[in-house]
Amino acid sequence: MLCKLQFRFFSPTKILRTAILLPWLAAIFSMPVNAELIEGFPLDPELVHQLNGDGNKAKTNAIKQLTLLATPEAVQVLTALAEDRLMIAGDSGEILIRMEGEKAFDATSGKEVSPVPEDMDQVYPNNRVRVVLNTSMSILKLFDPNQEIRLEAAKQIEDTGGADEMFLPIMDRVLAKESDSEIKEIITLVKAMIGVKSTDPAVRLSAVKDLGESDNPDIKLKLTEMTDPANEADSSVRAAAEESLASLEQKILIGETVTRVFTGLSLGSILLLAALGLAITYGVMGIINMAHGELLMIGAFATFVVHDFFRDNFAEYFDWYIVAAVPMAFISAAVVGVIMERTVIRWLYGRALETLLTTWGISLILIQTVRVMFGTFNQEIANPAWLSGSVEVMSNVNLPWNRLIIIGFAVAVLVLVWLLLNRTRLGLFVRAVTQNRTMAGCVGVPTARIDTVAFALGAAIAGLGGVALSQVSNVGPEMGQGYIVDCFMTVVLGGVGQLAGTVWASMGIGIVTKLVEGGLGAVFAKVIVLAIIILVIQKRPQGLFALKGRTAD
């Protein structure tokens, strides 16, 4: 008998009906604009009529009560009110919902009204009531099956801060059913911000403890207020507020430090791209190239030209202009480097002071040439869509995509340069000339040709640095002037011709600069970095990574 009853209870027909009914109920909660009302339990007529009552207090109270119900019928009524489709019949005074197709339904019973009354007036909420209504609609969207809609609604509630203590029960319902961690974190914070306004000390105490779990810097002011006896009478709540405030300040400090270190890494990545080429040319030829910053500028303006070309001719592929700009910047800077080496620098090998003055003059020529071609003003380059935006790590830590890609790009270039210098015949020749030019020439290494190739390679890598720099700053004729000193400091600190030294020096300078800037400012940061470099050079004159060999000095 028991088996028979169980079979009847779980009959295939009932299972099929349930499977059909569940998606239908989910569609109702998604609140479609033109869906007809379902047959269901009637709403309280007095509660519905309060939506057209006298005074804002009665209207907002009715909206909140309907929100707490969170039933399909209540959702339909509030949706109609928000969309200006809630009407009141002139003769009967009934509250109706106007639908498309000249239809109307009774807001309390859900039954169609026929014929539709001709003398209907709109139930119009004023601005104060509409604020509460918008908050209620956002809260009801937290039950939507679409995760993106729920997330947008949660952020809207957090930004507006319109929810009050009356909404706490429905927040508990949302937290009980929500599975998305990001939405759950936002709702927990919203609930806590509501709870600290409660008249119940136990509710405030629980809310303050919840706030202590957050890392959102926006709640610091509220916690600070609650540590003041003038604002919070309960001593246990004040003590909890002090603990939560200390925890929050520690998290904010960690977040700020992470942001500064990340910014330092991105600055170090640009320095690495700029200094790699200088390390090669200075290490191979002993040339002090004061025009190296202008090779950065050449790469940035090559990116600008490709940017405008794609915008004018291939607008549908504009987001990929940066991919085409990489080889263009590489080739452009390499060509300029070859011209510099073959026409001027090849005659000045072994005369460091004269190369310094000559390349400084070349830098002025390059700056003036770019001014003539592109104008004296900075040129703005738009980031591709896939380089826009950021990744949120903490509430006060957002890592921009463009800087993340720059760090990855610098790592990729570093790996390619390492492979070139350590796994190819050209790299073997470059390392040989760097360590002992005379002996390399004696064993058949074409030193003059290696000089040209090395200088072109160093210039080309600087051009790649210009591509990266164009995504984080404006492009102008004098943009390279601000990086030449840092490039030389990086090469000297790391060790001439040493990739490992260049990497550590560039990252160290970038991170220390940004950490000091946060507390003392940019000027003191430059002074402290310079002082650190001087101290290191005093102890290790050849840099962090000195050349190895019998003739290395």
The total number of structural domains that make up the chain = 3
| CA quadruple 266, 269, 271, 274: dihedral, nearest 10 | -140
Residues 288 and 429 in one domain: yes
Residues 455 and 330 in one domain: yes
Residues 200 and 279 in one domain: no
Average pLDDT on 119-135 reads 87
Q: Are 154 and 183 in contact (CB under 8 A)?
A: yes
Say if 247 falls within a structural domain: no
- Per-residue confidence band for 548, with pLDDT thresholds at 50, 70 and 90: low
How far is Cα 35 from Cα 79, in angstroms, rounded to an integer? 11
Residues 222 and 201 in one domain: yes
Which of 480, 510, 526 lies at the terminal end of a domain, its last residue? 480
* Residue 35: closest CA among 73, 68, 64: 73
Residues 327 and 270 in one domain: yes
Average pLDDT, the chain: 83
Q: pLDDT by residue (tens digit) across 237-261?
A: 999 999 999 998 998 889 889 999 9
Say if 468 falls within a structural domain: yes
Q: What percent of the chain has pLDDT over 70?
A: 90
Residues 276 and 338 in one domain: yes
Residues 76 and 175 in one domain: no
| Max mean pLDDT range (9-23, 382-396, 409-423, 509-523) | 409-423
Say if 357 falls within a structural domain: yes
DSSP code for 145: S
Say if 411 falls within a structural domain: yes
Say if 535 falls within a structural domain: no
Say if 528 falls within a structural domain: no
Say if 505 falls within a structural domain: no
For residue 88, the surrounding DSSP H or E stretch is: strand 86-89
Residues 67 and 147 in one domain: no
Q: pLDDT by residue (tens digit) across 85-123?
A: 888 887 677 888 888 777 888 888 888 888 888 788 888
Q: Give the HSE-up count for residue 436: Cα atoms under 13 Å, Cβ half-sphere.
A: 11
> CA separation (Å) from 216 to 162, 317, 359, 395?
18, 38, 51, 5
Supply φ then ψ for residue 313, to 5 degrees: -120, -30
Residues 224 and 266 in one domain: no
Q: What percent of the chain has pLDDT over 90?
A: 24
How far is Cα 136 from Cα 468, in angstroms, rounded to an integer? 46
Instruction: Give the residue numbers spanning the domain of 214.
Output: 142-233
- Per-residue confidence band for 4, with pLDDT thresholds at 50, 70 and 90: very low
Residues 427 and 305 in one domain: yes
- Look at residue 536 and tell me whether its pLDDT is greater than 90: no
Residues 123 and 176 in one domain: no
Residues 64-99 as b/e (b if ≥16 CB within 10 A, e otherwise) read bbbbbbbebbbbbbbbbbbeebbbbbeeeebbbbbb
Say if 216 falls within a structural domain: yes
Residues 189 and 302 in one domain: no
How far is Cα 151 from Cα 224, in angstroms, rounded to an integer? 29
Q: pLDDT by residue (tens digit) across 14-69?
A: 444 444 334 433 443 444 333 344 444 478 888 888 888 878 888 888 998 888 88
